[in-house]
Amino acid sequence: MIKLRSKMFYRCSSKLGSGGGGASGGGGGAASHVGGGEIKWELRPGGMLVQKRESNENSSGEVMITIRVSTVSKWHDISVQPTSTFGELKILLSILTNLEPQEQRILFKGKEREDNEHLHMIGVRDKDKVLMLEDPAIKERKLLGLTRTRGIGSSYCTISV
Protein backbone atom coordinates (compact mmCIF):
# COMPACT_ATOMS: atom_id res chain seq x y z
CA MET A 1 0.00 0.00 0.00
CA ILE A 2 1.36 3.42 -0.94
CA LYS A 3 0.89 6.52 1.20
CA LEU A 4 0.41 9.70 -0.74
CA ARG A 5 1.53 13.08 0.55
CA SER A 6 0.40 16.52 -0.46
CA LYS A 7 2.73 18.38 -2.82
CA MET A 8 3.41 21.19 -0.38
CA PHE A 9 4.37 18.78 2.42
CA TYR A 10 6.49 16.77 -0.03
CA ARG A 11 8.46 19.81 -1.16
CA CYS A 12 9.06 21.10 2.36
CA SER A 13 10.10 17.94 4.16
CA SER A 14 11.71 15.75 1.54
CA LYS A 15 15.43 15.71 0.89
CA LEU A 16 15.01 13.73 -2.31
CA GLY A 17 14.47 16.74 -4.56
CA SER A 18 11.91 16.81 -7.34
CA GLY A 19 10.64 13.49 -8.52
CA GLY A 20 7.46 11.53 -8.74
CA GLY A 21 8.11 8.46 -6.61
CA GLY A 22 9.45 9.37 -3.22
CA ALA A 23 12.05 6.55 -3.10
CA SER A 24 14.98 6.58 -5.44
CA GLY A 25 17.85 4.33 -6.27
CA GLY A 26 15.92 1.08 -6.46
CA GLY A 27 17.79 -2.00 -5.43
CA GLY A 28 20.00 -2.59 -8.41
CA GLY A 29 22.51 0.23 -8.49
CA ALA A 30 25.46 0.81 -6.20
CA ALA A 31 24.90 4.55 -6.20
CA SER A 32 22.05 6.92 -6.92
CA HIS A 33 22.10 10.63 -7.62
CA VAL A 34 19.85 12.58 -5.30
CA GLY A 35 19.74 16.35 -5.01
CA GLY A 36 23.21 16.75 -6.52
CA GLY A 37 24.84 14.34 -4.03
CA GLU A 38 25.66 10.69 -4.49
CA ILE A 39 24.44 7.96 -2.14
CA LYS A 40 26.45 4.75 -2.00
CA TRP A 41 24.78 1.50 -0.94
CA GLU A 42 26.25 -1.63 0.61
CA LEU A 43 24.90 -5.13 1.19
CA ARG A 44 25.33 -6.34 4.77
CA PRO A 45 26.02 -10.03 5.57
CA GLY A 46 22.44 -10.39 6.83
CA GLY A 47 21.15 -9.46 3.35
CA MET A 48 20.03 -5.93 4.22
CA LEU A 49 20.73 -3.12 1.75
CA VAL A 50 21.83 0.00 3.65
CA GLN A 51 23.41 3.35 2.92
CA LYS A 52 27.18 3.10 3.13
CA ARG A 53 28.71 4.95 6.06
CA GLU A 54 31.63 7.26 5.62
CA SER A 55 34.44 6.08 7.85
CA ASN A 56 38.10 6.75 8.48
CA GLU A 57 39.94 4.13 6.50
CA ASN A 58 43.63 3.34 6.72
CA SER A 59 45.95 3.17 3.72
CA SER A 60 45.06 -0.43 2.82
CA GLY A 61 41.34 0.44 2.68
CA GLU A 62 40.40 -1.90 5.55
CA VAL A 63 38.86 -0.59 8.75
CA MET A 64 40.26 -2.15 11.92
CA ILE A 65 38.75 -2.08 15.40
CA THR A 66 40.58 -2.74 18.64
CA ILE A 67 38.91 -5.14 21.07
CA ARG A 68 40.03 -5.57 24.67
CA VAL A 69 39.76 -9.27 25.54
CA SER A 70 39.78 -9.95 29.25
CA THR A 71 40.68 -13.35 30.65
CA VAL A 72 40.61 -14.27 34.34
CA SER A 73 44.09 -12.92 35.05
CA LYS A 74 45.12 -10.84 31.98
CA TRP A 75 43.76 -8.72 29.18
CA HIS A 76 44.83 -8.44 25.53
CA ASP A 77 44.18 -5.70 22.97
CA ILE A 78 43.48 -7.26 19.57
CA SER A 79 42.95 -5.40 16.27
CA VAL A 80 40.53 -7.11 13.87
CA GLN A 81 38.16 -6.17 11.08
CA PRO A 82 34.61 -5.45 12.24
CA THR A 83 33.26 -8.04 9.78
CA SER A 84 35.28 -10.81 11.45
CA THR A 85 33.50 -13.61 13.28
CA PHE A 86 33.87 -14.70 16.88
CA GLY A 87 35.47 -17.92 15.55
CA GLU A 88 38.24 -15.90 13.89
CA LEU A 89 38.68 -13.99 17.16
CA LYS A 90 39.05 -17.32 18.99
CA ILE A 91 41.79 -18.38 16.56
CA LEU A 92 43.73 -15.19 17.30
CA LEU A 93 43.24 -15.73 21.02
CA SER A 94 44.48 -19.31 20.78
CA ILE A 95 47.86 -17.96 19.68
CA LEU A 96 48.04 -15.61 22.68
CA THR A 97 46.57 -17.82 25.41
CA ASN A 98 47.58 -21.36 24.34
CA LEU A 99 43.94 -22.47 24.60
CA GLU A 100 42.39 -24.21 21.62
CA PRO A 101 39.33 -22.44 20.10
CA GLN A 102 37.10 -25.33 21.27
CA GLU A 103 38.25 -24.71 24.87
CA GLN A 104 37.31 -21.00 24.79
CA ARG A 105 34.00 -19.35 25.67
CA ILE A 106 33.54 -15.76 24.42
CA LEU A 107 31.08 -13.49 26.25
CA PHE A 108 29.90 -10.10 24.99
CA LYS A 109 27.21 -8.09 26.79
CA GLY A 110 26.63 -10.98 29.18
CA LYS A 111 25.85 -13.59 26.51
CA GLU A 112 27.96 -16.38 25.08
CA ARG A 113 28.52 -15.85 21.36
CA GLU A 114 28.66 -18.52 18.65
CA ASP A 115 31.64 -18.93 16.32
CA ASN A 116 29.71 -17.95 13.17
CA GLU A 117 28.35 -14.63 14.52
CA HIS A 118 29.88 -11.47 13.04
CA LEU A 119 31.27 -8.84 15.38
CA HIS A 120 29.56 -5.87 13.75
CA MET A 121 26.18 -7.63 13.57
CA ILE A 122 26.23 -8.21 17.34
CA GLY A 123 27.27 -4.61 18.02
CA VAL A 124 30.99 -4.89 18.85
CA ARG A 125 32.58 -1.49 18.26
CA ASP A 126 36.06 -0.04 18.61
CA LYS A 127 37.52 -0.36 22.14
CA ASP A 128 34.73 -2.65 23.40
CA LYS A 129 35.47 -5.28 26.05
CA VAL A 130 34.95 -9.01 25.46
CA LEU A 131 35.35 -11.67 28.15
CA MET A 132 37.07 -14.99 27.40
CA LEU A 133 36.64 -17.95 29.75
CA GLU A 134 37.96 -21.49 29.61
CA ASP A 135 35.21 -24.07 29.09
CA PRO A 136 34.60 -25.61 32.56
CA ALA A 137 33.81 -29.09 31.17
CA ILE A 138 37.08 -29.28 29.25
CA LYS A 139 38.98 -27.87 32.23
CA GLU A 140 37.52 -30.63 34.44
CA ARG A 141 38.44 -33.31 31.89
CA LYS A 142 42.01 -32.03 31.85
CA LEU A 143 42.24 -32.20 35.64
CA LEU A 144 40.79 -35.74 35.70
CA GLY A 145 43.26 -36.80 33.02
CA LEU A 146 46.17 -35.43 35.04
CA THR A 147 45.17 -37.30 38.20
CA ARG A 148 44.86 -40.57 36.31
CA THR A 149 48.28 -40.27 34.70
CA ARG A 150 50.01 -39.47 38.01
CA GLY A 151 48.89 -42.72 39.56
CA ILE A 152 47.28 -41.13 42.58
CA GLY A 153 44.98 -43.52 44.36
CA SER A 154 46.25 -46.63 42.61
CA SER A 155 45.60 -49.63 44.81
CA TYR A 156 47.04 -52.33 42.58
CA CYS A 157 49.27 -54.89 44.23
CA THR A 158 49.90 -58.59 43.66
CA ILE A 159 49.42 -61.15 46.39
CA SER A 160 50.97 -64.61 46.14
CA VAL A 161 49.88 -67.49 48.32
Q: What is the distance between the alpha carbons of residues 91 and 115, in angstroms, rounded to a whole number?
A: 10
pLDDT band at 55 (very low <50, low <70, confident <90, very high): low
At residue 23, the pLDDT reads: 45
Q: Any residues with CB less than 8 A from the CB of 22 and at least 6 apart, and which?
A: 5, 10, 14, 16
> Which residues is 70 bridged to in the sheet?
75, 131
The model's pLDDT over 98-125, given as tens digits with 9 standing for 90+, comes to 889 998 999 999 999 999 999 999 999 9
What's the one-letter identity of residue 84?
S
- Residue 46, pLDDT above cutoff 80: yes
- Residue 156, pLDDT above cutoff 90: no
At residue 108, the pLDDT reads: 92
pTM of the model: 0.53
Q: What is the distance between the alpha carbons of residues 63 and 155, in angstroms, rounded to a whole number?
A: 61
Torsion angle in degrees (nearest 10) through CA of 136, 140, 146, 151: 170
- Residue 30, pLDDT above cutoff 50: yes
Chain mean pLDDT for the chain:
75
Q: Cα–Cα–Cα angle for 73, 97, 64, nearest 5°?
A: 100
- Residue 9, pLDDT above cutoff 70: no
Task: Count CB atoms within 10 A of the CB of residue 132.
Answer: 21
- Residue 10, pLDDT above cutoff 80: no
- Residue 26, pLDDT above cutoff 60: no
By mean pLDDT, which of 9-13, 21-25, 54-58, 60-64 is the weakest? 9-13
